[in-house]
Chains A and B, each alone.
Chain A
Amino acid sequence: MAATDLPAGWEMVVGLEVHCELKTATKLFCGCPNVFGDEPNTNVCPVCLGLPGSLPVLNQQAVELAMAIGTALGCEIRPSTFHRKNYFYPDMPKDYQISQYDEPINVDGHLELPDGSVVGIVRAHLEEDTGKTTHAGGTGRIHGSDHSLVDYNRSGVPLVEIVSAPDIRSATQARAYAAELRAVLVATGASDGRMEEGSMRVDANVSVRRSPDDPLGTRCEIKNLNSLRSLARAVEYEARRQVELLEAGERVVQQTRHWDEDAGRTIALRSKEEATDYRYFLEPDLVPVVPDAQWVTAVADTLGMLPAARRRRLEELLTTDGAGTGDTPGGGAAPTPAQLDQIATVVDLGLDDLVVETVAAGVAAPLVLARSANEAATDPDLARKLDPVAFAGLLGMEASGSLSATQVKAVLSELLHTGGDPAAIAASKGFEAMAEDDLVSTVAGLVADHPDEWARYRDGDDKLAGFFTGLVMKATQGKANGKAVAAELRRLRG
């Protein structure tokens, strides 16, 4: 990954902590529904309200989703325990959070990014989410509000916290990591990865140093990164801030900082000296989770293909079926940068199976990829349900010159919504290609009507080809195929 444009002689070092809400049916330690957006305090019980006497019971589905994430990230899945992280906050009903601490379920994995770089995963552990506080009155911030409302529907929702190694070296790479991780989480079925709903939350640890050989610099942790864009901006800002401090002869103070999206800067929240002592100790109400090899294998078997493998599959498809690409005549060549973008889009939208099956139905890969990444991608939910045979039929008509690109787009739009036979849809729109006899007679008639222009074309003025094509299109109301018209003109010229 290319270095950022930090001032020369500086390198940034970034590690990300990603909290991901698991898509379980129920919460981590009780039977309450795990649902976003319900009426406040409707999905609660003695356990997730932390009522006296209540006890947690671990949700097996949450453990399996955590194991799925670990498997997808190439982690070692280990026997694990839960600890209590003690601190007071009104939205935390027990005033401690149950979290995995020194014995997490997943350790030591990695994530490969689309550009081929690899970021280490230190751990991916299970923990419970807190409730949600709303400060009412005043500004809506805690200071100046006159009361606070707490919704405990989120309390006890299962989270997996994924901690990367400090392997990230640019804001772009940080963003790519978060995007790729999100794709992996969605692919495993563990999470919906919605940052805007808070189901995926990112904190960034940022430090800078002069040389890759130097020890790590003092880091700051940035919170409140609600989008990939915020993440990239905040990391870039924070690295520059630290470089400026150091160049001015000052030092970086280890701090937690808040990203202010509107102001475009990070603001100090608290320093290490003020940090809470969480007084971790083994949660006595739970027993260790010891997944045996059989269970680990069973979970791994449920995993589908992951994004990196899915991208690779499309790249190979192009390489082996790439005949006709403009840049690489003859096929068998590597995908172009534009095609890599198309692959990323198609995988991101889950249209890669459609591409593979449509190519298998006999259409050239570059055309299928382009139409999938552009036209089909306008409605990915419908496109994922598209019949590959019908899609192949439509693109076959384009490849053979029976339909124009514009006509393909119109037919596809209808095909996505109603399904059916693309040829019939094209016919119903009057898009059917003209019969060859009709085209020959139309062209012959127009040539006879414009003898001067025809003479100039016949004498070698190729510009006149466009003049005649235009006349044909006008006469046929666009039904004629441009390539077929050009071929007929060349034939008549002899």
Chain B
Amino acid sequence: MSSTGSPASPAFDLADDVRAGRRRAVDVVEASLAAIAEREPELHCFNLVLADSARQRAAEIDRMVAAGEDPGPLAGVPVALKDNLCTRGIETTCSSRILAGWRPPYDATVVTRLDRAGAVVVGKTNMDEFAMGSSTETSATGPTRNPRDPSRVPGGSSGGSAAAVAAGFAPLALGSDTGGSIRQPAALCGVVGMKPTYGTVSRYGLVAFASSLDQIGPFATTVADAAGMFDVIGGHDPADSTSLDRPTPRVVSVLGDGIEGLTVGVVRELLEGADPDVVARITAAADVCAAAGAHVEEISVPEVRLGLSAYYLIAPAEASSNLARYDGVRYGLRVDAPDAASMNVATRTAGFGAEVKRRIMLGTYALSAGYYDAYYGQALRVRTRIVEGFERAYHQCDVLLGPTSPTTAFPLGERLDDPLAMYLSDVCTIPSNLAGHPAISLPFGTGDDGLPVGAQLLAPALGESLLFRAAAVLEAGAPAGTGGAAGGVA
């Protein structure tokens, strides 16, 4: 907390220092690169560290400031980008062998918006291959380790981004969230991670995993920083047909509004499979809401129990189609063979890892003639039921509360050979993706093992303002010393 009592915003404070000439962007970036140099060999947060271009960009920003120009609200702030966000001329691999060496000829819309805000990209972060995983262990470049305990996973799929922020490599990062891939690693690494309403952040330039679920969102050490970054990256983009063409309210301005008089629903089904220490923390979080003047009640949304099954049909189905283009014809890996069809097979066999292959097979099967209705069609009907379940809940409540992950960070290797156990890591986060609703995870104390517990807040579509207001209240009431960065840039 800052001394004024308003929510702390270290990344934007840092930018304000740079804009005012109190601090040089090159120094900020050097501090970031120094932190990376120190711990990156151990943690492997990045597939690519962009030291040279970051230094150049920082120098440019300092020149702008010296010339009296304003580089923007994120002037000089180091930012880490998940390696499924296209960066012009810079390798973008999705941590897959099949995209090794691919340099997109264009920037993702969010990358352009960060650039215009004066941010400095310091690297492309490690992830589960094509964002398929919950531990960053399916990466072709090897796993990322959790900065809080390097014997543990950072969660996933955006594990590199979460760990980079937790390790203090950069105060802000972007990830993508298809079934919890921002919130779950944020919870396991003890940082803030937010998935916006589907359609509020442009997907143009995000390498697709499951198009109807994917959404880009921020990682930060504080709620206010996450809100500020959401304000920078959000808003309509004509290049994405699913982007909502409506003015996005700036959430930063409502952060201090509190939640007095609002109703917070604690979702019984989200607590069902959670470890007791995690449940205890969420109960404590509910008490913080009550103490802030909110009406807290337990609520049942039984439909969310169906989320995991529906998700593991819908997401692989879309993925099986989205990943068809990696055929060795135009870019990325090609394994030569006598004819085109054998070349496709040889390339895909060599280029994709086991989890990606598993999901392509699952999805192909779910969409096949004779199975479509029983699997994919049924999953779509369940998806509608989940939306209806949330609608009912939001008649009664303004925001919902639950854990982000049923457990704290688990040891490397523990679930890698048990896909079902791995899939269960996302049981609390998936329903928001299926509904297209916003949700945020923020650190709220630790488990019995001393590792961070994430509290998850959920809001109805376009309820970002409510979501951030409640998150700011929980952040202010969280037990001391459980969130934020471990060191580095601050």
Q: Could you tell me if A55 and B212 are in contact, using CB atoms closer than 8 angstroms? A: no
Flag the segment in A89-97, A350-358, A404-412, A433-441 that touches B: A89-97
Contact digits for B196-238, partner A, Cβ 8 Å, 1 yes 0 no: 0000000111111011100000000000000000000000001
Secondary structure dominating the interface of B = loop
For the complex, give the distance between the alpha carbons of A46 and B206 in Å.
13
- Report B51-89 CB contacts with A as 1/0, cut-off 8 Å: 000000000000000000000000000000000111000
B367 touches A (CB below 8 Å): yes
A296 proximal to B (CB < 8 A): no
Residue of B nearest to A57 (CB): B241
Q: Are B340 and A90 in contact (CB under 8 A)?
A: yes
Give the complex CA separation of A51 and B102 in angstroms. 10
Residues of A close to B106: CB separation below 8 A: 46, 51, 53
Q: Which chain A residues (282-338) contact chain B, with CB distance < 8 Å?
A: 284-287
Closest Cβ of chain A to B312, distance in Å, is 16
Contacts of A54 in B (CB 8 A): 204-205
Expressed in whole angstroms, the Cα–Cα distance for A148 and B317 within the complex equals: 31
**In this complex, which of A46, A88, A279 has the most chain B Cβ atoms within 10 angstroms of its Cβ?**
A279
Task: Choose among B239, B317, B327, B330 the residue that contacts A281 (Cβ–Cβ < 8 A).
Answer: B317
Interface residues of A, dominant DSSP? loop
- A51 and B211 in contact (CB under 8 A), knowing A86-B321, A93-B330, A285-B242? no
Are A281 and B208 also in contact (CB < 8 A) when A46-B106, A88-B341 are? no
Residues in B with CB closer than 8 Å to A58 are 241
Instruction: Flag if B204 contacts A284 (CB, 8 Å).
Output: no
- Select B368's contact among A50, A55, A95, A279, beta carbons within 8 Å: A279
B241 x A285 contact (CB < 8 A):
yes
CB-CB under 8 A for A287 and B242, given A52-B207, A88-B327: yes
Kindly list chain A residues whose C-beta atoms are within 8 Å of the C-beta of B367: 86, 279-281
Q: Does A486 contact B (CB under 8 A)?
A: no
Q: Does B344 contact A (CB under 8 A)?
A: yes
- Bound complex: CA of A327 vs CA of B210, how far in Å? 72
Task: Check if A53 sits within 8 Å of B206, measured CB to CB.
Answer: yes
Distance in Å: Cβ of A272 to nearest Cβ of chain B: 12
Report the separation of the CA atoms of residues A84 and B208 in the bound assembly, to the nearest whole angstrom. 15
Q: Is A225 an interface residue (CB 8 A)?
A: no
Q: Is the CB of A55 within 8 A of B207?
A: no
Asked if residues B325 and A53 are in contact (CB atoms below 8 Å), the reply is no
Q: Is A277 an interface residue (CB 8 A)?
A: yes
Bound-complex Cα distance A88 to B203 (A): 25
Query: B105 an interface residue at 8 Å Cβ cutoff?
Result: yes
Asked if B329 is at the interface (CB within 8 A of a chain A CB), the reply is: yes
B104 interface residue, CB < 8 Å from A? yes
Measured between C-beta atoms, what is the minimum distance from B124 to chain A in Å? Answer: 13
Q: Which chain A residue has the least Cβ–Cβ distance from B324?
A: A95
CB < 8 Å A-B pair total: 96
Q: Are A96 and B92 in contact (CB under 8 A)?
A: no
Chain A neighbourhood of B102, CB < 8 A: 52
Cβ-neighbour of A55 out of B239, B320, B372 (below 8 A)? B239
A1-58 contacts to B, CB under 8 A, are 46, 49-58
Docked-complex contact A148 and B340, CB < 8 angstroms: yes
Distance in angstroms between the alpha carbons of A479 and B320 in the assembled complex: 81
Q: Contact check, A52 vs B340: say whether CB atoms are below 8 A apart.
A: no
Q: Would you give the shortest CB distance from A360 to chain B, in whole angstroms?
A: 49
Q: Are A53 and B205 in contact (CB-based, < 8 A)?
A: yes
Residue pair A52, B104 in contact (C-beta under 8 Å): yes
Q: Write out the residue numbers on chain A whose beta carbons fall within 8 Å of the beta carbon of B208.
A: 52-53, 285
- What are the residues of chain A within 8 A of B84 when measuring CB–CB? 53
Residue in A50, A56, A284 whose CB lies within 8 Å of B318: A284
Known interface pairs A52-B99, A54-B204, A277-B368; A90-B240 also in contact (CB < 8 Å): no
Contacting A88 at CB < 8 Å: which of B210, B331, B344?
B344
Residue contact A55 to B203, C-beta cutoff 8 Å: yes
Interface check B369, CB cutoff 8 A: yes
Closest to A143 in B: B339
- CA A148 to CA B328, docked complex, whole Å: 14
B376 contacts A by Cβ under 8 Å:
yes
Is A150 located at the chain interface by the 8 A CB criterion? Answer: yes
> Does B138 sit at the interface, judged by CB under 8 A?
no
Complex interface bits, B100-112 against A, C-beta within 8 A gives 1, otherwise 0: 0010111010000
In Å, the complex CA distance between A335 and B204 comes to 61
Q: How far is the CB of A185 from chain B (nearest CB, A)?
A: 27
Question: Chain A residues near B94 (CB, 8 Å)?
Answer: 52
Residue B441 at the A interface, CB < 8 A? no
> Across the interface, which residues of A come within 8 angstroms of B372, CB to CB?
279, 281
A residues within 8 A CB of B207? 52-53
Interface size class of A (residues with CB under 8 A): 20 to 34
Alpha-carbon gap, A119 to B92, bound state (A) = 53
- How distant is the Cα of A55 from the Cα of B106 in the complex, in angstroms? 13
Cα(A287)–Cα(B105), bound, Å: 26
Asked whether A94 lies within 8 Å of B324 as measured between CB atoms, the reply is yes
Residue of A nearest to B377 (CB): A281
Give the contacts of B182-205 with A (CB-CB under 8 A). 203-205
Residue from B105, B211, B364 within 8 A of A46 (CB atoms): B105
- Look across to chain A and name the residue whose beta carbon is closest to the beta carbon of B331: A51
Residues from chain B with a CB closer than 8 A to the CB of A52 are 86, 92, 94, 99, 102, 104, 207-208, 325
**How many angstroms between the C-alpha atoms of A52 and B327 in the bound complex?**
12
| Complex contacts, A94 vs chain B, CB 8 Å | 324-325
Q: How far is the CB of B174 from chain A (nearest CB, A)?
A: 13
Complex CA–CA separation, A51 to B207 (angstroms)? 9
A4 to B241, CA, bound (A): 50
Q: Given the complex, which residues of B lie within 8 Å of A90, measured CB to CB?
A: 327, 329, 340
B347-368 CB contact bits vs A (8 Å, 1 = yes)? 0000000000000000010011
A73-107 interface code vs B (CB 8 A; 1 in, 0 out)? 00000000000101010100111100000000000
Knowing A90-B340, A284-B211 are in contact, say whether A53-B327 is a contact too (CB < 8 A).
no
B321: which of A53, A93, A279, A287 is its contact (CB, 8 Å)?
A279
Within 8 A of A (CB), among B419-470: none
Contacts of A281 in B (CB 8 A): 317-318, 321, 367, 372, 376
**Cβ-closest chain B residue relative to A82:** B241
CB closest chain-A residue, reference B199: A287
CB of B306 to closest CB in A, whole Å: 20
Asked if residues A279 and B364 are in contact (CB atoms below 8 Å), the reply is yes
Q: Smallest distance from the beta carbon of A276 to chain B beta carbons, Å? A: 10
Question: With the chains together, A285 CA to B206 CA distance in Å?
Answer: 12
State whether B104 touches A51 (Cβ < 8 A).
yes
Is A46 touching B104 in the complex (CB atoms < 8 A)?
Answer: yes
Whole-angstrom distance from the CB of B12 to the nearest CB of chain A?
Answer: 28
Cβ-defined contact, A57 with B341, below 8 A: no
Interchain CA distance A53-B104 in the complex, whole Å: 9
CB–CB B368/A150 < 8 A: no
Partner pick for A95 among B104, B242, B325, B331, CB 8 A cutoff: B325
Q: Which A residues touch B211, using CB under 8 A?
A: 284-285
A56 to B204, CA, bound (A): 9
Q: Is the CB of B212 within 8 A of A284?
A: yes
Taking the nearest CB of chain B, how far is it from the CB of A153, in angstroms?
Answer: 14
Chain B residues with Cβ below 8 Å from A55 are 203-204, 239-241
- Using Cβ atoms and an 8 Å threshold, which residues of chain A touch B240? 55, 57
A51 touches B204 (CB 8 A): no
A287 to B: closest C-beta gap in Å? 6
Least CB distance from B178 to A in Å reads 12
Given contacts A51-B105, A55-B240, whether A93 and B325 have CB atoms under 8 Å apart is yes
- Interface mask (B297-332 → A, CB under 8 Å = 1, otherwise 0): 000000000000000000001101100110101110
Task: List residues of chain A with CB within 8 A of the CB of B318.
Answer: 281, 284
* Sample (16) of A-B pairs whose CB atoms are under 8 Å apart: A46-B105, A49-B330, A52-B102, A53-B86, A53-B207, A55-B204, A84-B321, A88-B327, A88-B341, A94-B325, A95-B324, A150-B329, A284-B242, A285-B208, A286-B242, A287-B241
9 extra A-B contacts, CB within 8 A, seeds A51-B106, A53-B205, A279-B321: A53-B206, A57-B239, A84-B321, A86-B321, A88-B324, A95-B327, A279-B368, A284-B212, A287-B241
> Which are the 7 A-B pairs with shortest beta-carbon distances?
A95-B324, A284-B212, A279-B367, A284-B211, A52-B207, A53-B86, A53-B205
